[in-house]
Structure 1
Amino acid sequence: MNDIIRVGVLGFGGLGQAASRVLAPKQEMRLVAAADKQGYIYQENGLDQEACIAAYYKQGSVGYVEPYGTLSQGSIEELIQNASVDGYFLALPNLPNTFMADVARMFIESGWRGVLVDALKRTSAVEQLLELKEQLQAAGITYMTGCGATPGLLTAAAAIAAQSYGEIHQVKITFGVGIANWEAYRATIREDIAHLPGFDVDKARAMTDEEIERFLDQTDGILTLENMEHADDIMLELAGICSRDRVTVGGVVDTRNPKKPLSTNVQITGRTFEGKISTHTFTLGDETSMAANVCGPGFGYLKAGVSLHRRGIYGLFTAAQIMPQFVR
Structure 2
Amino acid sequence: MTNHQPNTDLTNNPIPVGVLGFGGLGQAAARVLTPKQEMCWVAAADQKGYIYSPEGLDPDLCIRTYRDRGSVADIEPGGTHSTQSIIDLINHAPLVKGYFLALPNLPNTFMASVAQAFINSGWQGVLVDALKRTSAVEQLLELQEELKAAGITYMTGCGATPGLLTAAAAIAAQSYAEIHSVNITFGVGIANWEAYRATIREDIAHLPGYNVETARAMTDAEVEALLDKTNGLLKLENMEHADDIMLELAGICSRDRVTVGGIVDTRNPKKPLSTNVQVTGRTFEGKISTHTFTLGDETSMAANVCGPAFGYLKAGVKLHQRGIYGLFTAAEVMPQFVR
Q: Which interval holds the TM-score relative to the shorter structure?
A: over 0.9
Q: Which residue of 1 aligns with 2:57?
A: 47
Q: How many residues align?
A: 328
Unmatched tracts of structure 2, length 5 or more: 1-7
Q: CA deviation at 1:142?
A: 0.1
C-alpha offsets along residues 59-97 of structure 1, whole Å, 9 cap, x if unaligned? 000000111111111110000001120000000000000
Counterpart CA distance in 1 for 2:57 and 2:69 is 17
1:106 to 85, 94, 117: 117
Please give the alpha-carbon distance, in whole angstroms, between the structure 2 residues aligned to 1:298 and 1:113. 19
In structure 1, the residue matched to 2:84 is 74
Shift of 1:188: 0.3
Partner residue of 1:58?
68
Matched, 1:14 2:24: yes
Deviation digits for residues 166-223 of structure 1, max 9, x if unmatched?
Answer: 0000000000000000000000000000000000000000000010001100000000
Q: Would you identify which runs of 4 or more consecutive aligned residues in structure 1 move more than 2 Å?
A: none
CA deviation after TM superposition for structure 1 residue 38, in Å: 0.2
SS in 1 for 2:338: coil
RMSD: 0.3
Alignment match, 1:279: 290
Q: CA deviation at 1:280?
A: 0.1
Match of 2:45 in 1: 35
TM-score computed with the length of structure 2 as normaliser: 0.97
Aligned to 1:136: 147
| Cα displacement (A) at 1:121 | 0.0
Q: Which residue of 2 aligns with 1:153?
A: 164
Look up the SS of the partner of 1:34 in the other structure. Answer: strand
Alignment equivalent of 1:238, drawn from 228, 249, 252? 249
Secondary structure (helix, strand or coil) at the match of 1:185 reads: helix
**Mapping 1:240-255, distance limit 5 Å:** 240-255=251-266
* Residue 7 of structure 1: how far off its partner (Å): 0.5
Residue 266 of structure 1 pairs with residue 277 of structure 2: yes
The reply to whether residue 221 of structure 1 matches residue 255 of structure 2 is: no
- Cα distance in 1 for partners of 2:167, 2:155 equals 13
Residue identity (%): 80
Partner of 2:195: 184
Letter of the aligned partner of 1:294 in structure 2? V
CA distance in 2: counterparts of 1:103 and 1:74, whole angstroms: 11
The amino acid across from 1:143 in the alignment is Y
Pair 1:209-2:220 in alignment: yes
Report the equivalent of 1:317.
328
Q: Is 1:127 matched with 2:138? A: yes
C-alpha deviations, 1:204-259, integer Å up to 9, x for none?
Answer: 00000010001100000000000000000000000000000000000000000000
Q: TM-score, normalised by structure 1?
A: 1.00
Structure 1 unmatched ranges of 5 or more: none
| Matches of 1:125 and 1:55, distance apart in 2 | 32
Measured in 1, the distance between the counterparts of 2:77 and 2:320 equals: 32
Whole-angstrom CA distance in 2 between matches of 1:124 and 1:284: 26
SS in 1 for 2:317: helix
